[in-house]
Amino acid sequence: MLEGMEFEPFLYGAEVAKILALAGDGRELQELRPAGCRYPAAKAELARFTAGHLFPKGRSPQGAVCALYLYLGCLDEAHSIAQDLSSREGSYWHGVMHRMEGDFWNAKYWFQRAGTHPVFPSIAAAAREIGYDAAHTWAPSEFVDFCETSQRRGGSEEEAVAKGVQMIEWRFLFDWCARAGAKS
């Protein structure tokens, strides 16, 4: 489903690549509502490092670690990080976490606090390519509604699209947080 959107864990350093190697290499679609941490070995490996060690030149090292915990399905750990990040990335990851736990109203609240982000055009374009019709512009709150509806139709094409878009969203924002650039 995400052909053409290659993801290369080694671009984020040896430690991050090792963590992701224990968890599908960052290529497995996440559940819209994970039942808990899916990769205990990856979680344990991630816990060994500080955000500054893993992402010393990242725009938002804590945001990148939050993203890794979300990818692993570890919502409690992600929530602990996101609620202490007073940045648009922290608010955005906070919204993602609440969406994944099924607290849709709260997710929308955090997305509203996050405001717009430079990755939105990229998310919208990639989401359109996999069939997300609402992606004329990226609107996180609209995607919350789509995920809520999709979860009720487990196994549907709509759910498959939602999982694909969720992965697109994760990849673009994770990359933004993890890589060097001006601090936001």
Q: What is the pLDDT of residue 182?
A: 46
Q: What is the pLDDT of residue 151?
A: 86
Q: What is the pLDDT of residue 7?
A: 85
What is the pTM (predicted TM-score) of this model?
0.93
Residue 16 · residue 54 · CB < 8 Å: yes
Looking at the structure of the chain, the number of domains it has is 1
In a domain, 108, yes or no: yes
In a domain, 112, yes or no: yes
Hey, is 137 helix, strand or coil?
coil
In a domain, 5, yes or no: no
Q: Report DSSP letters for 96-123, one per residue.
A: HHHHHHT-HHHHHHHHHHH---TTHHHH
In a domain, 183, yes or no: no
In a domain, 150, yes or no: yes
In a domain, 51, yes or no: yes
User: Which parts of the chain register pLDDT below 70?
Assistant: 1-5, 135, 181-184
DSSP code at position 51: H
In a domain, 115, yes or no: yes
* Domain extent for 45: 13-25+34-178
Q: What is the pLDDT of residue 105?
A: 97
Cβ neighbourhood burial of 83 (10 Å; 0-12, 13-18, 19+): middle
Question: Who contacts 161 (Cβ-Cβ below 8 Å, separation ≥6)?
Answer: 130, 131, 132, 150
Q: What is the pLDDT of residue 156?
A: 86
105-146 pLDDT tens trace: 999 999 999 999 999 999 999 999 999 987 578 999 999 999
Question: Who contacts 80 (Cβ-Cβ below 8 Å, separation ≥6)?
Answer: none
Q: What is d(CA 12, CA 10) in angstroms, rounded to the nearest whole number?
A: 5
Q: What is the pLDDT of residue 180?
A: 82
